Amino acid sequence: MVALAAACDSGGTDHAEPAAEPGRAKIVAALHDLISVDRLPGAQVVRTEHGKAWTATAGVGDLERGTPFQDNARVRIASNTKTFVATVMLQLAAEGKVELDAPVERYLPGVVHGPGIDGNRITIRNLLQHTSGIPEYAAEFGTTPKPGQIDTHDERIRWGRTDIAEVVRNALTAPADFEPGARWTYSNTNYALAGMVLEKITGFSIGAEITHRIIDRLGLPDTYYPDADEVDIRGPHPRGYARIDGKLVDYTEQNVTSAGAAGAMVSSGADLNRFLNALLGGELLPPAQLEEMKRTVPLGIEGQSASYGLGLLANPLSCGTVGWGHGGDIDGFETRGGATDDGRAVTVSVNQVPESGETTGHLNAIVDLALCAGS
């Protein structure tokens, strides 16, 4: 272990041999900038290449104790959950149990309907690709909920179990955002519905299916789908912080049933890297289904070059290749990462959701730097 505290005021550790990784010094310096410039409490980067990983941390994982992120720190990975859910759906497609271009109505009769919303015209592909036009069920951080949306800062939602089926019903009382397939707009409701489809088809919970089909299969020791009444994070983890009404609040403990199939999971950087490398390497899906997952549509957002497949973002990298992954935000944590087709993967985790898009851009820049190092 090489201590870096003397090189940067925020402190930190780097678990790698000094000259073992190309670009390591720049990556670690950028990680420390998240603390000194962007004023985040703590950060961790895990880079994996062909099964060999190294980890570096900056800042603190616990403001009260002043301790850093632990090795194999577990964090709430939020919307990275969507890639796991999409992978299970594509496994079921490979098994002939679901058709991607079949209407949702076939699997959830009578559920998907509302003003301008018709489950006979919305497909499973639309759900996984965010091209359904179905409105969002969760209010964005710091905004007033719209009709049909929930406030994730409501103390009842933070500590109590959420009936996601009821949440979906309420969301579907709002009008459709657009005609199915007309464009791309991110909506967590799509994945709440995808989770309901998976449970209807398999007869098991989405957590059980992800555990059996992915976590146990790959041997991911730090990854799990929380139980319905769980509020703690199991195992080693940093504290997670959220700024609410101008105050920094410890938001580590929370019930994530409101996130559900759209964002409930916990994992570590090493496990996320292993998952993405296994996915892209064909360990989880046959070639035809992996190709479907990687068929993308443009986001249609000015300044954004990324495109979206089935639970998988394609991010063009500065070195000319593509980083495949997702990313996620939930009160207390943000993760950004990706993997390349040639066996490199990186996850950057911070223990506070950035308060500006600029800071999230800095996380994405670290991902780009790490994936392109040595290429």
Which residues are the active-site residues?
79
Q: Which of 171, 193, 175, 168 is nearest to 116 (CA)?
A: 175
**Residue-wise DSSP of 20-32:** SSTTHHHHHHHHH
Rounded to the nearest angstrom, the gap between the alpha carbon of residue 224 and the centroid of all alpha carbons in its chain is 13
Q: How far is CA 354 from CA 121, 141, 240, in A?
A: 37, 11, 12
Residue 91 CA to residue 168 CA, distance in Å, equals 25
User: With the C-alpha atoms ordered 306, 307, 312, 314, is the resulting torsion angle positive or negative?
Assistant: negative
3-state secondary structure 279-342: HHCCCCCCHHHHHHHCCCEECCCCCCCCEECCCCEEEECCCCCEEEECCEEECEEEEEEEECCC
Contacts of residue 97, Cβ cutoff 8 Å, sequence gap at least 6 = 201, 202
The answer to whether the beta carbons of residues 240 and 250 sit under 8 Å apart is yes
β partners of residue 259? none
Cα-based angle 134, 92, 277 (whole degrees, multiple of 5)? 90
Q: How many CB atoms lie within 10 A of CB 50?
A: 10
Report the candidate in 350, 325, 259, 296 with the shortest Cα–Cα distance to residue 34. Answer: 350
Cβ contacts of 99-107, under 8 Å, gap ≥ 24 = 99/124, 100/124, 100/125, 100/128, 100/292, 100/310, 101/125, 104/193, 104/197, 107/197, 107/200, 107/201
**Distance (Å, rounded) from C-alpha 243 to C-alpha 249?**
6
